[in-house]
């Protein structure tokens, strides 16, 4: 790896800092593993849709069944179910059965993300 660094022209301040961290190999070793990257991509994908963001914010305020989310958004049940499944697969929301209803609510990760997003 040092051969590559010797071929690349970079400022001395960056070169010294990079060498202090073990060079390119050292930085590469500090990166998240593939599973963590996939989890981050899943969350980013879930947050990339405005409707899913609205649903996540709504669920952070109040657990709800699909019928309430449909009434609130005007979306069709099938579309809302899709959005909820994406949020659920990304680990941002969970559901629990209450009689004939599935009640959706935010996970700890979902709550933390809403709090973080609200800082913008």
The answer to whether residue 78 is domain-embedded is yes
Starting at the earlier edge strand, list the strands of the sheet with 101-106: 64-65, 101-106, 93-98
Distance CA 107, CA 73 (A): 21
Q: What share of the chain is helix, strand, coil (3-state, %, to 5)?
A: 65, 10, 20
Q: pLDDT tens digits, residue range 2-37?
A: 446 567 788 888 888 888 889 888 999 999 999 999
Same domain, 85 and 107: yes
Q: How many domains does the chain have?
A: 2
Same domain, 86 and 110: yes
Same domain, 50 and 24: no
What is the token pair recorded at 22? Answer: 């073990």
Same domain, 17 and 56: no
CA dihedral of 70, 65, 63, 113, whole degrees rounded to 10: -60
Same domain, 86 and 112: yes
Measure the CA angle with vertex 90, ends 108 and 93; round to 5°. Answer: 45
State which residues form the domain around 97. Answer: 42-117
CA distances for 16 relative to 2, 9, 20, 31, 38, angstroms: 13, 13, 6, 20, 32
Same domain, 58 and 81: yes
**pTM recorded for the entire structure:** 0.81
Q: pLDDT tens digits, residue range 87-105?
A: 999 999 999 999 999 999 9
Same domain, 67 and 96: yes
Note the pLDDT of residue 16.
87
The answer to whether residue 37 is domain-embedded is no
């Amino acid at each position: 790896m040092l051969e590559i660094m010797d071929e690349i022209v970079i400022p001395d301040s960056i070169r010294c800092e990079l060498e202090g961290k073990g060079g390119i190999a050292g930085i590469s070793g500090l990166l998240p593993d593939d599973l963590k990257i996939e989890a981050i991509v899943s969350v980013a994908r879930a947050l990339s849709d405005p409707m899913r963001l609205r649903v996540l914010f709504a669920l952070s305020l109040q657990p709800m069944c699909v019928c309430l989310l449909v009434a609130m958004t005007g979306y069709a049940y099938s579309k809302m179910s899709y959005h909820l499944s994406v949020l659920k697969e990304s680990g941002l929301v969970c559901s629990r059965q209450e009689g004939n209803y599935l009640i959706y609510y935010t996970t700890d990760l979902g709550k933390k993300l809403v709090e973080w997003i609200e800082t913008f």
